[in-house]
Amino acid sequence: MILPGNTLGVLGGGQLGRMFCDAARTLGYRTVVLDPDPHSPAGCVADEHICADYEDETALRHMSNRCVAITVEFENVPANSMQYLSQHCQVHPAPEALQICRDRIREKTFLRDHDLPTAPFAAVINKSQLEQAIQTVGVPALLKTATGGYDGKGQQPVPEKTAIDSAFSELGQHPCVLERWLELSLELSVVLARSAAGVTRCFPVVENQHTNGILDTSIVPARIPAQLAQQATDLATQVAEKLGFVGVLAVEFFIVNDDRLLINEIAPRPHNSGHYTLNATVSCQFEQQVRMLCDLPAGDTTLLSPVVMNNLLGDLWDKSAPAWEKLLQHPAAKLHLYGKREARPGRKMGHFTVLHPTIEQALRISQKIKKTL
């Protein structure tokens, strides 16, 4: 076990890295952040911020000398950087798992090859494969870039066969995945922690609501039958086991109209939908990330109270900061701001949670706060 007093590193300086550093410091570790942004949210709270590119050899060497173990806050860290670091110190998750999760073609193929349920799909590497892909998947469909897409970016609808060419052109003719468009009844996620010994601990299942492709609201516990919640937890555990994953992992699910669960995406890190754990569970997802990185036993994931989490996007800022006093007058509301210097439309600037003994009342309070803001 890597005990408090040691130094841990994280590649990536956004809000996930910031909250990892907060959890690590609370447990008594020192932290080092590698991120090229001199004003990165994580770099502002870490013991040391290495302001350099993720492939800077000098920066990577310095980080590996300073840290006993290193993790990531996003999956698109360059593979060669992770391979280098893994030769010098403990790294979780493994570079091989990140390679699968950062590419939709690899991810979907992994799920299919391991008999894990996902929407019908076909890979599109170049224009010559468009016709075969549309024949395989059918329409309506959704074309997604294999890499780089998030929060609804990197996607184009394909309502009919003739739309596939223009959709591919809109996405720059980069490698893509064509997925069948499904009628969804609900979206769920499961965040879990898995140790190097293969022990998995899941947080409660989350019910998610999106607006314009960006997560807006997370509701816990999810308002679904217990059997369906158990099925989601079991499938997420299988994903982690098949990946040989060590760390914190999130699995996003679609529920289609006949109550079938389909896996949408895998995130090899803490997840936006898991932010409710900062206030509503015995241990949060970032403490679990520290624990898994350091080979410590997983913390308790028991839900202490029903909770609703709402994202705060840059759209709220307009010409000045939102009127936080209107939120803070609610004693059950917990505000979390990420320390980002510039607010932009669609940019995640923070979130707030509302805890209440009944999920219906938590929803009512959170909706009232959102309307006020």
Fold of 184-372: D-amino Acid Aminotransferase; Chain A, domain 1 (3.30.470)
* Neighbouring-strand partners of residue 176: 124, 145
Closest CA to 11 of 248, 215, 269, 266: 269
Domain ranges of the chain: 7-91, 120-180, 184-372
- Digit-coded pLDDT (tens) for 171-225: 999 999 999 999 999 999 999 999 999 999 999 999 999 998 899 999 999 999 9
User: Which residue carries 């219906």 as its tokens?
Assistant: 360
Q: Are strands 155-158 and 141-145 parallel, antiparallel or unpaired?
A: antiparallel
User: Which residue carries 């302001």 as its tokens?
Assistant: 51
Coil, strand or helix at 228: helix
* Rounded distance between C-alpha atoms, residue 207 and residue 67, angstroms: 37
Fold of 120-180: Dna Ligase; domain 1 (3.30.1490)
Closest CA to 114 of 245, 293, 308: 245
| 106: CB partners within 8 A, 6+ apart | 99, 100
* Rounded distance between C-alpha atoms, residue 350 and residue 178, angstroms: 32
User: Which residue carries 């403490």 as its tokens?
Assistant: 287
141: DSSP letter: E
pLDDT tens for the 373 residues of the chain, in order: 999 999 999 999 999 999 999 999 999 999 999 999 999 999 999 999 999 999 999 999 999 999 999 999 999 999 889 999 999 999 999 999 999 999 999 999 999 999 999 999 999 999 999 999 999 999 999 999 998 877 678 899 999 999 999 999 999 999 999 999 999 999 999 999 999 999 999 999 999 999 988 999 999 999 999 999 999 999 999 999 999 999 999 999 999 987 899 999 999 999 999 999 999 999 999 999 999 999 999 999 999 999 999 999 999 998 889 999 999 999 999 999 999 999 999 999 999 999 999 999 999 999 999 999 9
* Rounded distance between C-alpha atoms, residue 103 and residue 252, angstroms: 15
| 354: CB partners within 8 A, 6+ apart | 307, 308, 310, 330, 332, 333, 334, 362, 365, 366, 369
Specify the pLDDT at position 233.
98
Same fold, 120-180 and 184-372: no
Longest dimension (CA), the chain: 60
Fold of 7-91: Rossmann fold (3.40.50)
- Digit-coded pLDDT (tens) for 16-63: 999 999 999 999 999 999 999 999 999 999 999 999 999 999 999 999
pTM of the model: 0.96
